[in-house]
Amino acid sequence: KMASGQQWVLVEMVQAFYEAPAYHLILEGILILWIVRLLFSKTYKLQERSDLTDKEKEELIEEWQPEPLVPQVSKDHPSLKYDVVSGPPSHKIIVNGKECINFASFNFLGLLDNERVKVCALASLQKYGVGTCGPRGFYGTFDVHLELEERLAKFMRTEEAIIYSYGFATIASAIPAYSKRGDIVFVDEAACFSIQKGLQASRSVIKYFKHNDMEDLERLLKEQEVEDQKNPRKARVTRRFIVVEGLYINTADVCPLPELVNLKYKYKVRIFLEESMSFGVLGEHGRGVTEHFDVNIDDIDLISANMENAVASIGGFCCGRSFVIDHQRLSGQGYCFSASLPPMLAAAAIEALNIMENDPDIFTILREKCRHVHKSLQGIPGLKVVGEPFAPALHLQLERSSGSRETDMKMLPQHLLVCFQCLDRQIAVTQARYLDKEEKFLPSPSIRVVVTIEQTEVEIEKAANCIREAALAILK
């Protein structure tokens, strides 16, 4: 029935066509042609209008002047001229030709100059030479690497450990191995530069919470919870991480780990812990901040640390459950695409672990020295000590911050002068160095004071007096 109805319409149309006056048909014909023309012609010639002729292009190319490759660095830029160390940067250090007592190198346990470590490194050198000439995947895995990984895992009491050939690359590669675009990372404002670079490489959403402020972190987590309820489908695939440091290199204080673990289970967020400053320092056996707080290490999803401070070698490692760590063997960029750690350096790290395991007293000694230094540095006019009494790398900051960053920064040369004067009096301290424009939250300028177990009480007193006198003379 429908079909016959449509047929009728068609017949009517044909009839109407016959009955229409000629001018009407002509008009409609013109209209149809017009539509066809409009369909096939460009409405306006955008292409032609913006296209440059070759001559114009050549002129543009001729005309364009790029900025210089790098801006000129002024000759008196504070970080252009480095202090030159001749001889080993150990307890006694020769800086710019002057022998000083070292309060600047992160050689907390004095293992840099340790004979046992050197003997092992030499034995390894004799067997393996220096370089590995390949990444781990392509014959760059040596028995020494496997041994070091096993030893680190055992030392930290975790299932597995993975080593990197450079400390900086460790956490900077580990974070983007897990956290991808769209994932959320909650991170402390005081986080060190390698964490910042890892976050940047991950392209995740980054949420900074105030330094060690658990209320602020919880506020962010709650906000996220509300956000998640709005879009539960997205929430089910959005990974969340908290990234903190055990002992912050920038502030020399410790993260409130037990609270963080509570928040972890409450809000279902994983914790990545950077322990470069606390590994081989905190805890009865030097296992770091988990031992310090007696937190179950399995509650931390990933721990990373470098072997360039307490261990006094080169490289870094991550440890944790195999489920987590093993993933980096295919996804950790600094692991897969870089030559592996020279066996000699791995051998040195193994021997350092031996020493740390055989003689856990060194951690107690270190803690005592730290307390001593912390106490001696109190009450210096114009300077305040920043950091925990058990932190081996303290900061001396201006006592009264002027309130404005700029005036504080103007005090930088004064800091340097203090360092120079100390150098003159045979105490090596340095200014903590940062890239002002690159840091997310630039730490206040400070003088770094590093404690090692080799410093004697007399030397510590001498250093404290020296800094006090320099500060008196310069900061006034």
Residue 49 tokens, joined: 């209008």
Residue of the chain from 130, 219, 441, 456 that contacts another protein (CB under 8 A): 130
> Which positions from 181 through 200 interact with another protein, judged by CB under 8 A?
192-194, 197, 200
> Which positions from 139 through 168 interact with another protein, judged by CB under 8 A?
139-143, 145-146, 165-168
Contact between 397 and 458 (Cβ < 8 Å): no
Residue 314 tokens, joined: 């080169």
Contact between 441 and 190 (Cβ < 8 Å): yes
* Cβ atoms < 10 Å from Cβ of 288: 27
x/- mask, another protein, residues 54-93, rule CB under 8 A, reads x--xx-xx--xxxxxxxxxx---x-xx-xxxxxxxxx--x
> d(Cα 450, Cα 38) in Å, to the nearest integer?
79
CB 17 to another protein: min, Å: 50
Amino acid at 349: A
Instruction: Indicate the residue among 306 and 376 with the shorter CB distance to another protein.
Output: 306
> Which positions from 236 through 255 interact with another protein, judged by CB under 8 A?
236-240
Residue of the chain from 116, 118, 425, 462 that contacts another protein (CB under 8 A): 118
Total binding residues toward another protein, as defined by CB under 8 A: 121
In 276-355 the beta strands, taken as DSSP E runs, fall at 302-306, 316-320
For residue 316, which of 162, 192, 201 has the smallest C-alpha distance? 162
CB 41 to another protein: min, Å: 24
Instruction: Indicate the residue among 33 and 133 with the shorter CB distance to another protein.
Output: 133
Using CB under 8 A as the binding rule, whether residue 258 contacts another protein is answered as no
> d(Cα 270, Cα 185) in Å, to the nearest integer?
9
Q: What is the DSSP string of 178-221?
A: H--TT-EEEEETT--HHHHHHHHHHT-EEEEE-TT-HHHHHHHH
Site stretch for another protein (CB under 8 A), options 34-42, 212-220, 320-328, 398-406: 320-328
Torsion of CA 296, 298, 299, 304, to 10 degrees: 100
x/- mask, another protein, residues 88-117, rule CB under 8 A, reads xxx--x-x------x-xxxx----xxx--x
CB 309 to another protein: min, Å: 6
x/- mask, another protein, residues 387-426, rule CB under 8 A, reads ----------------------------------------
Amino acid at 37: R
Residue 168 tokens, joined: 């900086």
CB 160 to another protein: min, Å: 9
x/- mask, another protein, residues 326-365, rule CB under 8 A, reads xx-xx--xx-xxxx-xx-xx--x-----------------
> d(Cα 395, Cα 401) in Å, to the nearest integer?
14
